[in-house]
Amino acid sequence: MEVRPRELFEGHRGLLGAWEGVIGTQDRIMNLKPIPEGASPSKGKDIRVLCLKDIPMPESSWYNGYTYLDVLSPAAVDRFIEVTHEAYRKEVGSEFGKSVFGIFTDEPNYGFVWPFTFDLPEGVQMAVNPWTPGLLNIFRKEYGYDLRPHLPELFLEVEGIAFSTARYHYRKLVTKLFVESFSKRIGEWCQRNRIALTGHVLLEGNMRNTTMVVGSTMPFYEHMQVPGIDVLTEHSYEYDTAKQTVSVANQMGRKWVLTELYGCTGWDFSLEGHKAVGDWQTALGINLRCHHLSWYTMKGEAKRDYPASIFFQSPWWEHYGVVEDYYSRVHVALAEGDAVRRILVIHPIESMWARFRPPRIGDVAVHEILGEKNQDVRELDEMLPTIRNWLLEEHLDFDYGDESLLARHGRVRSRDGSLCLQVAKANYDAVLVPPLDTIRSSTLKLLKRYAESGGQVVFAGPLPSVVDGVPSQAATAAAARCQQIPFEQKSVVSALAEKNRAVSLANPEGLEIPSLLYMQRRSDERQVLFICNTDRKQGQDPVQVRIKGKGHVVELNPLDGSRCRVESAFASGWTSFVTDLPPTGSRLFTLEKTRERGLPERTRRKEIRRIPLGSPTGTQLSEHNVLALDRPHYRFGSGKWLKAVEVLKLDRLVRDTLGAPYRGGAMLQPWARPVQKNPPRVDLSLRFDIMVESLPVTPVYLALENAERYSIAFNGAPISTVEQGDGWWVDPCLRNCGSIRQSFAQAGMSSSSASISPRRMSSRHFISWGHSGFGSRGRSVP
């Protein structure tokens, strides 16, 4: 959709339709009316024209000069399977289900504004929604009416329409097409070929972004043998991302739930951080770790991929087994039995479908697209983590229930003499319905049947006023047979805790400790309880642990595999004991039906006194002492030397000179770049000034990438580009060249020069000072 001033309206040619109106605040358009074919808009300075048209996605270097797949088209996805999955099957199909465990799909989505740009005249805005050929016909067959007159409702709030049925139906349809065309087709292919479909969709973290790019995550994950998530940085506590995926896995009976984790954490990310990020995901049900990432080379642009490399390039790599052995032991213990989650929360994503409007670009900066200015959308988006925090902080574990999955897999059944609501292979004793705008009639029918049979169904806050996208009082009638409470923490917790609590993690005052997360599993022989402290600064001591059931408590130490006996008490159906959790700490317990003889009793340590370390002492470096050379003076050809500049800024200057595209995450892959027969070239010289106060006593080497492309001198003395010393530093692409220690006789400079073309622009310079220290003065190198 283009929003144009009336004077920029160019007629109906190529349009699905044109409308006029006045756009006010909160994306509300007033006096909306269609512009008849051949007619002009009404006069008035505030009149805006909405031009709706079907446009192809622009080609982009992000997709190597092409566009993204039409994931709403079964024919397009079939062709995609043919050229990708079938190609892998031809080459390594004999190893499917063996050494080739799965195939990873990264961030599939049905359409997104960023990172594409459009050339728009001044004063013109554009908003984009996903589309596919024939969608108008598909919509009419699905819902029995024409979408075309309602197209403006997909982008704006129309005055006089409190709830846009067309917008809700449209989002429901594109979500269904995405799931059935992409996830289901590929998942079925993988099932037939004995290989797991795994990976994760794009932007799982909140309902607003999910609606924009995939509709709903949970129906998509239904068809994946190993559904997964992506958690970037150490600061993204995306609990809902995990809960949505784990809920589907629990309901569909999937053994594994994958996480792509540690991306964008940086080179200085500690092993404590690795544990902190991994623990909360483990407590929420994630059990297959897919590390982001392990570089097989740092050559070229690869060295600037999202760090850090969880491989030999990181100095702690030789010790990383401590982290992975820890998680191996935890996951083995948590593989036993079934997760204990007695509460089902109806997911409000379909209410977001009705509220969401795509952002307009043009007058709006691209970086603002992922923000949210519309208050109604923001309020609904904030409601989901609010509910989740109320329950998790009170240690009332739960699953989310997607209404499309409930429609296909939900039923009421008897289990062990009591009633439960079953979703495929998962059973629940209580259902919480948060404030919703709309609810499906199939959901109401299921909840009504469960409530009338004696099951607990709780409606919190305002009741849905829309059913299946149409205004209706059916939800009010159904809720009359259920428990109704205010939407507030105390009421929600009070309504659910008494009948559904299975674990308590409390302080001495009896209050649940919000920073603690847990995973509880139950089998015929034992219960398993994993607890982690998400607070990285504050420990918890003591922690009063209560677990429903009777047994003998054993603590397992995942760091070394040892086990010990824990003193406990049993009363009124609950086993209780005391533990403690330091910052980022975790504990792993089992509640055994039979006592194991000979286990030592756990010893609780406490601080007796602190001993200061005293004055600083000398240290021996475990790695080379390295100075990065990244601010050279430079000159082109035989021109004058120019002021020192950061090397990446210089890289852009060189690319401007050569007419080459800039580096970046969206740049063409090397194999996709067109080969130029006679590419432009430029002679470039770099000069690095280094002031040394004390000479090192150990060998000093220059390490750089593609050394053979350079002529190098240090204080006027030529430096060999033949590999010497230890061979390479950090990565084999950074080769150690000739020793330069002998050239330190006087303060001076190093210089290098090379002839550069667009396909040869890849280098990095370092000086390696052996294992000794050195002194320097002047501007520090960042």
pLDDT digits (tens, 9 = 90+) for 171-202: 999 999 999 999 999 999 999 999 999 999 99
Residue 365: band (very low, low, confident or very high) from pLDDT cuts 50, 70, 90: very low
| Predicted pLDDT at 372 | 65
Cα 6 to the center of its chain, rounded Å: 42
Average pLDDT over residues 397-424: 96
Residues 6+ apart with CB under 8 A from 406: 346, 423, 440, 442, 443, 446
Contact 516, 531 (CB under 8 A): yes
Contact 120, 362 (CB under 8 A): yes
Residue 752: band (very low, low, confident or very high) from pLDDT cuts 50, 70, 90: low
Q: DSSP letter string over 525-561?
A: SEEEEEEEE--SS--EEEEEEEEES--EEEEE-TTT-
pLDDT at 414 over 60: yes
* Cα distances (Å, whole numbers) of residue 143 to 97, 149, 458: 41, 14, 31
Q: What is the pLDDT of residues 21-75, one digit of tens each?
A: 999 888 899 999 999 999 999 999 899 999 999 999 888 888 999 999 999 999 9
Q: DSSP letter string over 462-530?
A: SPPSEETTEE-SHHHHHHTTSEEE-SSHHHHHHHHHHHH--EEEE-TTS-B-TTEEEEEEE-SSEEEEE
User: Which of helix, strand or coil describes residue 348?
Assistant: coil
More reliable by pLDDT, 667 or 391 = 391
| Predicted pLDDT at 210 | 96
| Predicted pLDDT at 769 | 55
Question: Out of 167-171, 619-623, 733-737, which region has the weakest mean confidence (pLDDT)?
Answer: 619-623
| Predicted pLDDT at 551 | 97
Give long-range contacts, CB 8 A cutoff, 24+ apart: 138-147. Answer: 138/173, 138/177, 139/169, 139/170, 139/173, 142/169, 142/173, 143/169, 143/173
Closest to 700 measured CA to CA, from 743, 748, 747, 752: 743
* DSSP-H helix ranges across 335-416: 349-355, 375-393, 403-409
- In angstroms, the CA 370 to CA 348 distance is 20
Q: What is the pLDDT of residues 239-250, one digit of tens each?
A: 999 999 999 999
pLDDT at 760 over 70: no
Q: What is the pLDDT of residues 563-597, one digit of tens each?
A: 999 999 999 999 999 999 999 999 999 999 999 99
pLDDT at 522 over 60: yes
- In angstroms, the CA 632 to CA 686 distance is 6
341 token code pair: 């989650």
Pairing of strands 196-200, 226-232: parallel
- Number of Cβ atoms within 10 Å of the Cβ of 436: 26
Question: Out of 323-332, 456-465, 576-585, 703-712, which region has the weakest mean confidence (pLDDT)?
Answer: 703-712
| Predicted pLDDT at 761 | 54
* Cα distances (Å, whole numbers) of residue 686 to 640, 746, 755, 776: 12, 20, 12, 20
- In angstroms, the CA 25 to CA 646 distance is 45
| Predicted pLDDT at 710 | 85
Q: What is the pLDDT of residues 436-468, one digit of tens each?
A: 999 999 999 999 999 999 999 999 999 999 999
| Predicted pLDDT at 770 | 52
| Predicted pLDDT at 497 | 98
Percentage helix, strand, coil for the chain under 3-state DSSP, each rounded to 5: 30, 30, 45
Average pLDDT over residues 616-636: 87
- In angstroms, the CA 60 to CA 140 distance is 33
Q: What is the pLDDT of residues 218-241, one digit of tens each?
A: 999 999 999 999 999 999 999 999
Closest to 284 measured CA to CA, from 8, 25, 517, 7: 517
Of all residues in the chain, what percent carry a pLDDT higher than 90? 74
| Predicted pLDDT at 588 | 99
669 token code pair: 């892959």
780: left (phi over 0), alpha (psi -120 to 50) or beta: beta
487 token code pair: 């939407």
Question: Out of 499-508, 675-684, 772-781, which region has the weakest mean confidence (pLDDT)?
Answer: 772-781
- In angstroms, the CA 330 to CA 139 distance is 48
Contact 556, 361 (CB under 8 A): no
User: Which of helix, strand or coil describes residue 765?
Assistant: strand
Q: What is the pLDDT of residues 109-163, one digit of tens each?
A: 998 755 455 677 888 888 899 999 999 999 999 999 999 999 999 999 999 999 9
